[in-house]
Amino acid sequence: MADRYPFSKIESKWQKHWADNKTFKAIDNLKDKPKYYILDMFPYPSGSGLHVGHPEGYTATDIVARYKRMRGFNVLHPMGWDAFGLPAEQYAIETGIAPSIKTVENIATFKRQIQSLGFSYDWDREINTTDEAYYKWTQWIFLQLYNKGLAYQSEVAVNWCPALGTVLANEEVINGKSERGGHPVVRKPMRQWMLKITAYADRLLEDLEGLDWSESIKDMQRNWIGKSEGAEVNFRIADQDLSLDVFTTRPDTLFGATYMVLAPEHPYLEKITTPDYVAQVNAYRVLAERKSDLDRTDLAKGKTGVFTGAYAINPVNDTLIPIWVSDYVLMSYGTGAIMAVPAHDTRDYEFATAFDLPIQEVVSGGDITKEAFTQIEDGLMINSSTKDGQFSINGMKPSKAIQVTIDWLEESGKGKRAINYKLRDWLFSRQRYWGEPIPVLHDGTSTIPLSDSDLPLTLPVLDRIKPSGTGESPLANAKEWLQVVDPSSGKVYTRETNTMPQWAGSCWYYLRFIDPDNHERAWDLEKEKYWMPVDLYIGGAEHAVLHLLYARFWHKVLYDLGYVSTKEPFQKLVNQGMILGMDGEKMSKSRGNVINPDEVVKQYGADTMRLYEMFMGPLERSKPWNTSGIEGVYRFLNRLWRHFVKDDGGLIALSDEEPDAETMTMMHASIKKVQSDLDNLAFNTAISQLMVFSNHLRELSEVPRQALETLVMLLNPFAPHISEELWALMGNETTLAYHVWPEYDEKMLVRDTITMAVQVNGKVRAQLEVEVDAEKEHVLAMAHEHVSVKQHMEGKTIVKEIVVPNRIVNIVVR
């Protein structure tokens, strides 16, 4: 590669220039410019360093940030580190190296790699979730939640591995064995912290409406929240002074309820099971409990269950229906009990068929001898009236019958309208060392939150991090840290050994970026008002549900407390697609298809890397890496350099004449195209336009200064180093970063003549060069003259002639 342009010299020069001059420092509360807050999902600094997927999103946000600055915005574009997490802890257990030390190393690597790409972050705002000065405020937010009654403790089963003496995350358990060592894992109930996210379910759902997010991500969140409306119906137990509530979305099918099912964990089972059935019910419960230890997917294979010997009374027709127990009913949803309507529910149908239970049709329109009829739209109610005829929904559409039945249930005191959510409360504690300590004390009977002045509660330095053996986190080994003696009363308290999950730090980092050095409070309210909401948030789709839902939840709590001014944190969200390996597969070490960004930068430079990642295809789509594809954009930059820079390093002579008409049109068209593509994050087509424009300029014998300046300005967001260098070579003394974006003139886009296609029966037969807005008659006359048009019309009659001005002519003949 003899003539390649000196990218490494140029890139290090400008990176140093930007850093020395703090070119990208964001100014708080600036009034004379509109603000624009553009955020990346900050990375977990793993030991393996950056992979090419990271810079895809970062390049996209950087391009927008640089573009917005040129458009006159005050841009906040920060970066930080989500550095708590399991890998560092595992590494510590294996090697004895403290997570804090390893984390610092990893961050240094990530930072060096990110900086080598020339991103325009305001590094003065860098934050790190493992920093005491940061997690002090994570703990403070936890206390806000606690004081608001949104944090509580509960016994929840965890994956306990006796051999390792530790609790495992779900992803560390494979087929009931520990991922490391293959030891047996059992479910063990432990005291856990929960956050009451369910209290915000409705608002998390409703407020999605106003957000500029892709419909698919909104849908994923909606499905996760899983709101369903229906009724709670009360069933009395025959011969006992007990009753059971069930939740159903189909109260219209109440007359078709032929049995009832309880979840194996349902507390009523002990009360209602008749003596004859106790043995089999207990056996089933044990079986079900063990089953949940196995892979859950096995459960779907077929329905199992046993009869309890008890009967319930169907409140609409007083029919006695048997009560069964089966694990297809989940204790964690609804009331843990269902009314089964086999004729109109696929699962109930399967169960009834397996155990020979009666199937009663109450909605006509299907064939219940074959399968459950679940269509709610096309069908009419049948067999649905009380014995005395006082209440009947026969002949109604199910949708109507649902409402009528609920009204009747409420009037007769047999049930009520009800709403259920799939969303569960958030299991917030982890039995880990490397996380934010939960700032509470225990005295054996109650839990006492720390006061704000006791924060941060820092992690104790341990000689060696090892499992406690009890299932508690390694913090249980830190005896001195664990015990707190009240100096006045002498009373002894114990610290909480659970820590927060990795989600905690990332739930509010976007707020800390606003005011990262504030020691008095988490952030300043004025600055928050100025910068929020985040205008554009870009990151991977893997966080589409949990991170975004948790962060939105915290944000709403903070909103209720008056600490933030917007209901939602992230106004516009875009998920970048995955970059696949050359083989079209997900990049992974085991496949050996990982591309190292350091290598790419070394060989081609940061500008080429940035340009290529954006040129590959639409941001949101997954696309495979192609090493020879990168050569293409590299050649583009090389050609640009070689054509305009002489061997001695000076710029070629530019013409100060007005560009010719064609160049002028193309220049304005390019501004328009690049600008609208940037507004739509369509980087690939914008780059294509830059190539077209630059190819044109290379064909000119004399290059007009104005045209080259425009090209360099348009290129700047994408390839800022080479752009700044060319800009400086053109004699400009100030940075291009804040230079005003060129304006296009719509008038310049209008050309005198235009090429129109002429079709005969929909097939293109000729091209006409006509004046813009030429008369229809004139165009048709020209078309008729054309040799090949004539040929295809010969001997036929004209049926119809269509002229779309400036576009197309179609002559229909027969």
Partner RNA sequence: GCCAGGGUGGCGGAAUUGGUAGACGCAGUGGACUCAAAAUCCACCGGUGGCAACACUGUGGGGGUUCGACUCCCCCCCCUGGUACCA
Looking only at residues 176 through 235 of this chain, which bind RNA when binding is defined by CB under 7 A?
215-216, 219-220, 223-224, 226, 228, 230
Contact code string over 792-811 relative to RNA, x by CB under 7 A: x-------x-x-x--xx-x-
Residues with Cβ within 8 Å of residue 597, at least 6 apart in sequence = 50, 51, 52, 54, 55, 113, 117, 609
Backbone angle region of 589, left / alpha / beta, with phi > 0 → left and psi within -120 to 50 → alpha: alpha
Interface pick for RNA out of 59, 139, 420, 670 (rule CB under 7 A): 420
Residues 99, 84: Cα–Cα separation, whole Å:
9
Helices (H), 116-248: 132-147, 201-206, 215-225
Interface pick for RNA out of 338, 406, 712, 715 (rule CB under 7 A): 338
HSE-CB at 325 with a 13 A cutoff on CA atoms is: 29
Q: What is the dihedral of CA 87, 90, 96, 102, to 10 degrees?
A: 0
Instruction: State yes or no: residue 403 binds RNA (CB under 7 A).
Output: no
Instruction: Scan residues 250-269 and list those touching RNA (CB under 7 A).
Output: 250, 263
Residues with Cβ within 8 Å of residue 388, at least 6 apart in sequence = none
Interface pick for RNA out of 131, 327, 436, 613 (rule CB under 7 A): 327
Two structure tokens written together for 599: 């290598």
DSSP 119: -
* CB nearer to RNA: pick between 63 and 558: 63
Interface pick for RNA out of 49, 162, 365, 624 (rule CB under 7 A): 624
* CB nearer to RNA: pick between 247 and 550: 247
Instruction: Scan residues 3-42 and list those touching RNA (CB under 7 A).
Output: 3
Strand partners, 312: 237, 321
Distance of closest approach, residue 300 Cβ to RNA, in angstroms: 5
Interface pick for RNA out of 79, 343, 511, 633 (rule CB under 7 A): 633
Choose the binding region for RNA from 129-137, 330-338, 404-412, 440-448 (rule: CB under 7 A).
Answer: 330-338
Q: How far is CA 515 from the centre of its chain?
A: 25
* CB nearer to RNA: pick between 317 and 688: 688
Interface pick for RNA out of 198, 629, 732, 748 (rule CB under 7 A): 629
Instruction: Scan residues 583-622 and list those touching RNA (CB under 7 A).
Output: 586, 615-618, 621-622
Q: Do 70 and 718 form a contact (C-beta atoms < 8 A)?
A: no
Instruction: State yes or no: residue 743 binds RNA (CB under 7 A).
Output: no
* CB nearer to RNA: pick between 3 and 377: 3
Residues 767, 352: Cα–Cα separation, whole Å:
71
Report the sign of the C-alpha dihedral through residues 237, 242, 247, 253, in that order.
positive
Distance of closest approach, residue 710 Cβ to RNA, in angstroms: 18
Q: Do 433 and 99 form a contact (C-beta atoms < 8 A)?
A: yes
* CB nearer to RNA: pick between 642 and 739: 642
Instruction: State yes or no: residue 1 binds RNA (CB under 7 A).
Output: yes
Backbone angle region of 807, left / alpha / beta, with phi > 0 → left and psi within -120 to 50 → alpha: alpha
Instruction: Scan residues 667-706 and list those touching RNA (CB under 7 A).
Output: 682, 684-685, 687-688, 691-692, 695
Instruction: Scan residues 457-476 and list those touching RNA (CB under 7 A).
Output: none
In residues, how long is the chain? 814
Residue 333: CB atoms within 10 Å:
16
Nearest to 397 by CA among 379, 383, 375: 379
* CB nearer to RNA: pick between 50 and 263: 263
Distance of closest approach, residue 773 Cβ to RNA, in angstroms: 14
Instruction: State yes or no: residue 57 binds RNA (CB under 7 A).
Output: no
Instruction: State yes or no: residue 540 binds RNA (CB under 7 A).
Output: no
DSSP string of 176-194?
TEETTTT-B-EEEEEEEEE
Instruction: Scan residues 543-582 and list those touching RNA (CB under 7 A).
Output: 544-545
Instruction: Scan residues 290-319 and list those touching RNA (CB under 7 A).
Output: 296, 299-300, 303
Instruction: State yes or no: residue 334 binds RNA (CB under 7 A).
Output: yes
Interface pick for RNA out of 530, 759, 786, 793 (rule CB under 7 A): 759
Distance of closest approach, residue 422 Cβ to RNA, in angstroms: 4
* CB nearer to RNA: pick between 63 and 522: 63
Distance of closest approach, residue 478 Cβ to RNA, in angstroms: 35
Distance of closest approach, residue 642 Cβ to RNA, in angstroms: 7
User: Residue 605 — φ and ψ, nearest 5°?
Assistant: 95, 160
Interface pick for RNA out of 27, 525, 764, 781 (rule CB under 7 A): 764
What is the distance between the terminal CA atoms of the chain, rounded to a whole angstrom?
A: 61
Interface pick for RNA out of 333, 355, 493, 559 (rule CB under 7 A): 333
DSSP 455: -
Interface pick for RNA out of 666, 736, 756, 770 (rule CB under 7 A): 756
Can you state the percent helix, strand and coil of the chain, rounding each to 5? 40, 20, 40
40 SS3 class: strand
Backbone angle region of 239, left / alpha / beta, with phi > 0 → left and psi within -120 to 50 → alpha: left
Size of the site for RNA (CB under 7 A): 85
DSSP 330: -
Instruction: Scan residues 344-373 and list those touching RNA (CB under 7 A).
Output: 345, 347, 350
Residues 615, 716: Cα–Cα separation, whole Å:
15
* CB nearer to RNA: pick between 171 and 656: 171
